[in-house]
Amino acid sequence: MRFLNIQNVPASRYNSPKLQCSPVTLRDGTKAYAKINLLSELAKRPTNEVLTFIPLFTRDTFRTAPDGVYTWILSDKGFFANKVHSILELGTLHLNLAEHTAASYIYGAGECGKMGGTLEYNTLSGSFMVPLIRKYSNNVDLDERVHSTIEHMFGAMGFETIIRVEKTLIDKERMPLTEDELAMYVRAGYTVYLYDRETTCNNKDKLRIEAELRAKTAALKFFKKDTEQYRKAENYIQTLQTELETVKGYVPKLYKGGTRKRRRALNYRK
């Protein structure tokens, strides 16, 4: 069954993280919020060129892959899996896997967690499996055949214990963003900026102040000039304008992926 014509999907859409402004604790204890930008020259390149820094595992190599959480697909090109580093899922979405491997037909997709010979898996792929599950939600026989095929596939890879789960294996608590992951993206050509606050990172501070400034300015006409109320409102508007300029002028730290020693030598700036 053909779910999506992968070839018509813009590559740059899947070369960026699933989320932005995720919290990260650096090795020196500094806490920040990271925004990862895709350089324009990278956006013009196909996904399978940009994401070469993320290893692909196949049916033959997955059993000996490092333990951890993976996204996987089974397509007309075969079985492929990517190790997921964090909730950002940069380069490890199911659509990433499909485009990276030039797949056109997807037969199964989900997440799995491997620990030695034990494997937990699900079919929670919002891109491919959820539409199918909704369409055939009442077909118990089809559901059993799909999962029987998937479990036989994992068994043939050498896993002794295979457990089907109905929950996601990727969440913020279990898979936080790390400095090592940020350094990996920098080495691959991405630009990483670090912000002191989440509201500054996602621009909520700027939007909030602008909205309040518009409201207070509009309300000013209801006060008579040279009254205490008018002066208070005017002073508050000036305070908001100053605060807005501070937010607009905020320059995040540019993370360059150096060691602690190099960071002390101002390898990232404010």
Q: What integer is the mean pLDDT of 99-107?
A: 83
For residue 258, what pLDDT band results from cuts at 50, 70 and 90?
low
**Site of tokens 């109905």:** 166
Contacts of 171 (CB under 8 A, 6+ apart): 87
Give me the pLDDT at residue 151, please.
92
Domain total of the chain? 1
**Does 66 reside within a domain?**
yes
Domain annotation covers residue 171: no
Average pLDDT over residues 241-265: 71
Stretch 237-245: mean pLDDT, rounded? 87
Give the structural domain span for 37: 6-164
| Residue 243 forms part of a structural domain | no
Going by C-alpha positions, the residue among 188, 203, 172 that lies closest to residue 35 is 203
Predicted confidence at residue 262, as pLDDT, reads: 37
What is the residue-averaged pLDDT of the chain? Answer: 82
Q: Give the Cα-Cα-Cα angle 159, 161, 164 (nearest 5 degrees).
A: 105
78-83 and 57-58 strand pairing? antiparallel
Whether the predicted pLDDT of 132 surpasses 60: yes
Q: Identify the top-confidence range among 6-20, 101-115, 157-171, 209-223.
A: 157-171
266: in domain? no
pLDDT of residue 131: 63
The DSSP code sequence of the chain is -----GGGS-GGGGSS-S-SSEEEE-TTS-EEEEEEE--HHHHTS-HHHHGGGS--EETTTGGGSPSEEEEEEEETTEEEEEE--STT-TTTSHHHHHHHTT---EEEEEEEEEETTEEEE----TTTHHHHHHHTTT-HHHHHHHHHHHHHHHHHHT-SEEEE-SS-S--TTTS-B-HHHHHHHHHTT-EEEEES-HHHHTTHHHHHHHHHHHHHHHHGGGSPTTSHHHHHHHHHHHHHHHHHHHHHT---EEE----HHHHHTTSSB-
Specify the pLDDT at position 72: 95
The verdict on residue 189 lying in a domain is no
- Of all residues in the chain, what percent carry a pLDDT higher than 70? 83
Q: What is the pLDDT of residues 25-84, one digit of tens each?
A: 998 899 999 999 887 777 777 766 777 888 899 999 999 999 999 999 998 899 999 999
Q: pTM of the predicted model, to two decimals?
A: 0.75
Averaged pLDDT for residues 209-219:
89
Pick the more confident residue, 69 or 263: 69
Among 101-115, 147-161, 244-258, name the one with the lowest average pLDDT: 244-258
Looking at residue 177, its pLDDT comes to 92
pLDDT at 88 over 60: yes
